[in-house]
Amino acid sequence: MGATPGDSSCGKDYGHICNAAQLLLLAIFLRDSLRIQSCCNTAYDLWRIFYTKQTFNLLTNINMHAAQRYPFFVLLISLWLSGCASLPKPFIVNDPPLTKPLAITFAKHPVIALVLGGGATRGFAHVGVLNILEEHGIQPNLVVGTSAGAVTGALYAGGIRGEQLEAVANELQQEQIADWSYSGRGVIRGELLQNFINQLLRNRPIEHLDTKFVATATDLDTGQLVIFTRGDAGLAVRASSTIPGLVSPVTINGRDYVDGGLVSNVPAALARQLGADIVIAVDVSRSITEHEQLDSTLAVLQQSLEIMQQALTRTDLSAADIVIRPPIGELPFGDFEQKSQAIKAGAAAATIAIPDIQLLLRLKSQE
């Protein structure tokens, strides 16, 4: 049972978070102000070993009040990023995916693009959406995925569909893809996710998948949205899913890449640019919460973050013909225990959208 505000266990949790933040601040002060590298390394090692994994599990899994959970998470990530400058460069991987332009040629029209947005474990809802589309014979010619959407999208594009895709989702546990690391620029390395994807895809590169697939990521140096169209599919998904401050950036050909959702969480316009006639977008982001009172710094910060995210998402979705929003409510971003609920919510939302999709297909086919 998760802790709630006012519980004694919750008080201990918040005390634990404050202690972790204080120790991290001390580490940053020692390194950047006093320039004591050995103290910096020691302090960071202590913080990572004793606090990081426990704090992450706490913030993503316990039942905190919404106005308290995310500001703390943002606070810790912000503190972490503030100390990134002198930390070691991330591991440079071999056989990288490529960002060459994707030559899309289709034998017949209309061309259907499915755009799967980011949302961490809320992305399990994509599985339900895909299953319903498959049941009604609606198969996209192009799949564009960001972050969690890249994970599901790559598997779908690789031919893992229907009951098999749902089985993979239901069996997935956090330990299978969270390789905790106490060095570098994040607390999760990301190689487990990369290997997980490549194993399921039988190590096929992006260009050899059953359906054309594009994964998006953000160039950490320039802030530009990039697309991976060829090469190592698992590495492309890893880059697309790299949450800054939590997962170590991925270095590909000398460039650092992080989560594509920083720039475009549901890149419907990109799908249109790549030649799609019909764009179906799936948005699993969190909606803006209406508060009776915004009378604290934490509440104002959380509301501000949600407003910024939704403003970006609205811009993204303006290029979509059909938008599917699974009703997954306040499902936490790191909750692996409610996968079945998210999948069912995705299926329910897709079922509602089927008549509109079928009508649009008929209209486009007559053009």
CB of 110 closer than 8 Å to CB of 365: yes
Please give the C-alpha separations between residue 147 and each of 49, 50, 215, 243, 291, in angstroms, as whole numbers: 27, 28, 8, 8, 28
CB of 117 closer than 8 Å to CB of 264: no
In the chain, which ranges are continuous DSSP H helix?
A: 8-32, 37-47, 53-61, 66-82, 125-135, 148-157, 162-171, 174-177, 191-200, 233-240, 268-273, 297-317, 339-365
Q: Which long-range contacts (CB under 8 A, 24 or more apart) does 2-7 make?
A: 2/61, 2/62, 2/63, 2/64, 3/62, 3/63, 3/64, 4/63, 4/64, 4/65, 5/64, 5/65, 5/68
Pick from 31, 29, 23: nearest CA to 52: 23
| 321 assigned to active site | no
Annotated catalytic residue, options 13, 147, 181, 335:
147
C-alpha span between 59 and 61 (Å, rounded): 6
The CA dihedral of 35, 37, 38, 42, to the nearest 10 degrees, is: 100
Beta strands 250-252 and 255-259 are antiparallel
With H, G, I as helix, E, B as strand and everything else as coil, classify residue 255.
strand
Annotated catalytic residue, options 259, 283, 316, 335:
259
Q: How many residues are present in the chain?
A: 367
Q: Give strand pairing partners of 280.
A: 114, 322
| 285 assigned to active site | no
Active site residues: 147, 259
